[in-house]
Chain A
Amino acid sequence: MAVLSTPRSAVQLASKGTPVREHLFRTLLIASLVVAFIFMVALLSYVFVEGWPRLDSRLWENMPSIRNPDIAGAQSAITGTLWVISLTGLFTLPTGIAAAIYLEEYADKTRWYNRVIELNIQNLAGIPSIVYGILGLGIIARTLGLGFSVITASLTLGLLVLPIVIIASREALRAVPPSIREGSLALGATQWQTISRQVLPASIPGIATGSILALSRAIGEAAPLLMLGAVSFIRFNPDGIFASYTVLPIQIFNWISQSREGFHVLAAAAIVVLLVILLLMNSVAIWLRNRYQKRW
Chain B
Amino acid sequence: MPNVTVRGPEAPRTIESLDPVFTVKNLSVFYGDYEAVRGVDMLIGNREITAMIGPSGCGKSTVLRCFNRMNDLIPGARPAGTIQYHGEDLYGDHVDPIEVRRRIGMVFQKPNPFPKSIYDNIAYGPKVNGVKGKMDDIVEEALTKAALWDEVKGKLKQNALSLSGGQQQRLCIARAIAVKPEVILMDEPCSALDPIATTKIEDLMQELAHDYTIVIVTHNMQQAARVSHRTAFFTAEVDDAGVRHGRLVEFDETSRIFTNPSDKRTEDYITGRFG
A interface residue numbers (CB < 8 A to B): 108, 110, 177, 179-180, 182-190, 193, 197-198, 202, 294-296
Q: Tell me whether B70 and A198 are in contact (CB under 8 A).
A: no
Residues of chain B lying within 8 A (CB to CB) of residue A198: 114
Question: Are A182 and B115 touching (Cβ within 8 A)?
Answer: no
Knowing A108-B75, A182-B70, say if A188 contacts B124 (CB, 8 Å).
no
Closest to A109 in B: B75
20 A–B pairs (Cβ distance < 8 Å), ordered by A: A108-B75, A183-B108, A183-B175, A184-B128, A186-B101, A186-B105, A187-B101, A187-B125, A187-B175, A188-B98, A188-B101, A188-B102, A188-B125, A188-B129, A188-B179, A189-B128, A189-B129, A197-B124, A197-B128, A294-B115
With A193-B128, A295-B115 known to touch, is A185 a contact of B73 (CB < 8 Å)? Answer: yes
* B113 cross-chain contacts in A, Cβ below 8 A: 183
A250 and B207 alpha carbons, distance in the complex (Å): 73
Bound state CA distance, A198 and B127, in angstroms?
13
For residue B109, which residue of chain A has the nearest CB? A179
B25: interface (CB < 8 Å) = no
Q: In this complex, what residue of B is CB-closest to A177?
A: B112
B102 to chain A: closest residue by CB: A188
Inter-chain CA distance A127–B186, complex, in Å, is 50
Residues of B within 8 A of A (CB): 68, 70, 73, 75, 98-99, 101-103, 105-106, 108, 110, 112-115, 124-125, 128-129, 161, 172, 175-176, 179
Q: How far is the CA of A234 from the CA of B147 in the complex (A)?
A: 71
Q: Name the A residues within 8 Å of B101 (CB-CB).
A: 185-188
Known: A188-B99, A188-B102. A183 touches B128 (CB 8 A): no
Cβ distance A107 to chain B, nearest Cβ, rounded Å: 11
A295 touches B105 (CB 8 A): no
Q: Min CB distance, B85 to chain A, in Å?
A: 15
Picked from B68, B75, B114, the residue with its CB within 8 Å of the CB of A184 is B114
Cβ contact within 8 Å between B70 and A186:
yes
Whole-angstrom distance between the alpha carbons of A186 and B70 in the complex? 7
Q: In the complex the two chains form, is B128's CB within 8 Å of A188's CB?
A: yes
Of A187, A193, A198, which is in contact with the most chain B CB atoms at under 10 Å from its CB?
A: A187
Q: What residues on A are CB-neighbors of B125 within 8 Å?
A: 187-189
Given contacts A188-B98, A296-B161, is CB(A182)–CB(B112) below 8 Å? Answer: yes
CB distance from B215 to the nearest CB of A (A): 14
In the assembled complex, which residues on chain B have CB atoms less than 8 Å from the CB atom of A183? 108, 112-114, 172, 175
| B99: A residues at CB distance < 8 A | 188
- Min C-beta distance of A217 to chain B, whole Å: 30
Q: How far is the CA of A110 from the CA of B98 in the complex (A)?
A: 24
CA separation between A187 and B123, bound complex, in Å?
11
Cα(A176)–Cα(B108), bound, Å: 17
- Contact in complex: B161, A295 (CB < 8 Å): yes
Please provide the 9 A-B residue pairs with the shortest distance between their CB atoms, ordered closest to farther.
A188-B102, A179-B112, A187-B125, A186-B106, A189-B128, A294-B115, A183-B112, A188-B101, A193-B128
Other contacts beyond A186-B68, A186-B106: 4, CB < 8 A: A182-B112, A187-B105, A187-B129, A296-B115
Q: A182-B70, A296-B161 given as contacts; is B102 within 8 A of A187 (CB)?
A: yes
Cα(A78)–Cα(B176), bound, Å:
54
Closest Cβ of chain B: how far from A36's Cβ, in Å? 34
Report A-chain residues with C-beta under 8 Å of the C-beta of B161: 295-296
Name the residue in B98, B102, B108, B176 with the highest tally of chain A Cβ atoms < 10 Å from its Cβ: B98
CB distance from A189 to the nearest CB of B (A): 4
